[in-house]
Structure 1
């Protein structure tokens, strides 16, 4: 008898479920704020990164995934190229072999947002997480370019718990080399 009630109850429970699903969908749409999605991938990524940066010194909340076939590099060089339009971070070992890299476009920033200091912070953290998977603990930072993400990239690296030993400015300065582009007329 118990076997007869179980199969009979299952089809009845299955029939109202599809009817309830369409009724729930229109009720969810008019709710203000429910239909608002992040306009680009950078907001979803940036919120999780900001939550990790915002609290304390950041060493407790750092997520580091051990890399496959890791190289076990304890010290390296962080190359930060900060232009007005983008920020690129490459982490190498002392010889120059690339361990990890990231750019603002890779992290989901588009257009003018790629040149911001916040984008540089997210980029530096992504590259450092890759390198920390290989065992990176202390770095030398080499900054290139006039962009707004120079200082924020260094702060983001320190917030992850990587020890910054030296900060060098390696911006190339011409000794009257190439002719600069003509001035804009707006």
Structure 2
């Protein structure tokens, strides 16, 4: 880019259904780079234009100072295609586009509905990763991993096979194991 300060960061879009590892990817990146992770949801940013711009500037300034990896969770709300209606929302998309374009650090956006993204946003993303629904093998690995971190007795193989066939996501499996461990 020829504009000073523009486009120096890395923007990743992690998209897929809930509980498949999108947030975990940002957490792992933070750990590997030795950087703190600053997580914010759309509710933290504000629903009005002025609040959004002020909060984004503040968050990005802090993250830059801390050399933090930033994660905006459920970013689809602010990144939907702009249209003829909803001038306020269109302005919010423009604010977010401008702010992320000048953030010089690592930024992750987690989304569930990439098909509704604004084209201008897609052109600013350096890398987009799709996370598919977990299959039986992935769920079995998660059951084993989460159970191994508890005081619960490891399940017999047939019980593990049965549990792995249940259409649960990673967050649901983690929560079940956590609850089971708490009441055991």
Answer 1 or 2: which has greater helix percent. 2
User: Same fold by TM (over 0.5)?
Assistant: no
Answer 1 or 2: which has greater strand percent. 1
State the TM-score, normalizing by the size of structure 1: 0.28
Which one has more relative contact order, counting CA pairs under 8 Å at least 6 apart? 2
- Could you say which structure has the larger radius of gyration? 1
State the TM-score, normalizing by the size of structure 2: 0.28
